[in-house]
Structure 1
Amino acid sequence: MISQSNYIQQSSNIPFNALPPVLKDFDKVYRSNFKEANDDPSLTFVISLYYQKLNEYVAKTQVQAPKAENSAAKQKYKYRLRLQLQEEARMALK
């Protein structure tokens, strides 16, 4: 779960390019003013809402992106690479 205490460490695992525009825009502003925003009591609700929505989005995208798709893409890449290597080996033997 992403929170204020681990946001900087966890941010490397967040797919920022795939975030909805609202979360992406808030992140840009929040990162540039991280310390000031966290020290401002009037922003507490907004920041906690951001973490809630960000955690919901990350959890949803992790569930929706099954590893089988990645595995299928990797298998397809390996298959193409194997075919290419076989073709190069045939050409070298001629």
Structure 2
Amino acid sequence: MSYEIEHGGLHELFYLDGVAATVETALQLLEEALVSQQNLLQESVADMDSDASDYDYALGDISVLKDAADDVRLATRRIIVARSSISARIS
């Protein structure tokens, strides 16, 4: 195995580790935002004086956050596959 391939592969692994950490942080933030919006939804349902727009707003946010979390999970799976491929190439 040439040094160039090994060096490039290691560089790619370090890069993917950084991307993975960023993606993990994004997922944590999305999950926190999702919990916050679910709490807002529960509060608006419990508060009968709340107008329906608060309820609709919270439902819309929850849907967007769930979609974003799914996208982040997909990115995580792609990172895992890429890491496996690079590791196999280095070995």
Q: Same fold (TM over 0.5)?
A: no
- Name whichever structure is richer in helix by fraction: 2
TM score, norm. by length of structure 2:
0.38
**Whose relative contact order is higher, 1 or 2, with alpha carbons under 8 Å and at least 6 apart?**
2
